[in-house]
Amino acid sequence: MKPCIRGGVTVPSTEQNAPAAILARALYDGIGDSALPDRIIRFEAGTITEVRPATAQDARGAALPEFDVVTPGFVDLQINGAADTQFNFDPTPEAVARIAAGARQGGTAAILPTFITAHGTDYLRALEAVRAAQERGIPGILGAHLEGPFLSPERPGIHDPSAIRPMDAQDLDRLTAAQVGRLLLTVSPETLPEGALARLTAAGVRVFAGHTAASADQIARAEAEGLVGVTHLFNAMSQMTGREPGVVGATLASRGLHAGIIADGHHVDWRNIAIAARLMPDRLCLVTDAMLTLAGTTTTFELHGERITRSGDRLTNATGRLAGAHVSMIDCIRNMLDHAGLGPAAVLKMAAANPARALGLGDRIGSVQSGHRATLTCLSQAFEVTGVMIDGDMQDGTAA
């Protein structure tokens, strides 16, 4: 199977042009507010060609693969690792493939492998690994997420403070020339050089604010220059107070900013998650922020010289500081259903349609409709993952 370029993103092409189809007993299409019963989804050459109600004639015809629940393929904007592989430790196309495969166990079809703050220009190795992975046709790689090193030293979180630094002219040249499909760049906008954000945006980089001490006014100015979202809402950012909304308040009040949120029960109080979900139902994006422990056997590892330990589904350093997450996308979805007061259609949009729009890819992925890529997540009635399809191909190890 040879890779091809579709919409600026490398995807596998298929040697077969024969159409195929599946039957969804309940389809959450990423558009409506409820499930559509008994839908036939047909696709050809990796693209959805038809979505229609099933008929009696379909029942008399050849048997179709059948799934209890079908949704647009989940999209994870922030995943640091999985399957005993951490992208920072091993920025190679092989590592990207392992992380993507680990993410699929939680229903995620498309990822941005996330490379966090590292010294100097180490981020270039990550960009090259993603580019190579796309050229090889590794499925589900939409681009790359660089979380740092251009962050606020006031809000490092678990990132290495010694590697946080300002963006310079050479960085700007390299980032605007990156060829990785979609590049999501997390920065502290208040530390960027004058004009940098506008230039990044003009080059197609999707800029998020994160690990930032910015004021609400600084976020508003950044949004006017092209800022499109914030990384892990509530975490490592200025908070909302009575007279200073901070990054959190600016995001909740915005009409356009998207926000990733980690719905694991550790990073954000469920009441805050419920508030965000009510205020920004079309802008909130579930992210895992997963580390190498997800879908792996690792329980302890070193990060920036610190020992990180997994206890249950919580990852912390010796002082109890959170160090990424141990949660899958389907876990996040079930958590939202249990704690955020939302129905399935709204929550599933936060795992697919909203992140697709945050990347500017809402016309290709994130909903199940004719002309969109045949990238789907299939679930049981109990919301357990039974299959992940990427560009018309059901991925090994995910089918029921």
* DSSP states along 253-298: H-SS-EEEEE-SSSSS-HHHHHHHHHH-TTTEEEE--B-TTTTS--
Please state the domain count of the chain.
2
183 assigned to some structural domain: yes
Domain match, 170 and 214 both: yes
353 assigned to some structural domain: yes
Domain match, 352 and 335 both: yes
Q: State the catalytic residue, choosing from 29, 76, 264, 289.
A: 289
Domain match, 15 and 119 both: no
In this prediction, residue 4 carries a pLDDT of: 39
Domain match, 313 and 384 both: no
DSSP track, 185-198: EEE-GGGSPTTHHH
The per-type count for the chain, helices as H runs and strands as E runs, is: 11, 22
Q: Which residues pair with 70 in a beta bridge?
A: 27, 378
Domain match, 78 and 49 both: no
Domain match, 108 and 169 both: yes
Q: Is the confidence at residue 144, as pLDDT, over 80?
A: yes
At a CB cut-off of 8 Å and minimum separation 6, what does 358 contact?
Answer: 77, 206, 228, 229, 258, 283, 285
Q: Is the confidence at residue 286, as pLDDT, over 90?
A: yes
pLDDT digits (tens, 9 = 90+) for 304-346: 999 999 999 999 999 999 999 999 999 999 999 999 999 999 9
Average pLDDT over residues 119-143: 98
Domain match, 68 and 78 both: no
Domain residues for 28? Answer: 3-72+366-394
Domain match, 160 and 225 both: yes
Domain match, 205 and 139 both: yes
Residue 391 appears among annotated catalytic residues: no
Average pLDDT over residues 363-383: 98
83 assigned to some structural domain: yes
In this prediction, residue 2 carries a pLDDT of: 36
Query: pTM for the whole thing?
Result: 0.94
10 assigned to some structural domain: yes
pLDDT digits (tens, 9 = 90+) for 196-233: 999 999 999 999 999 999 999 999 999 999 999 999 99
400 assigned to some structural domain: no
Number of neighbours of residue 32 by Cβ within 10 angstroms: 12
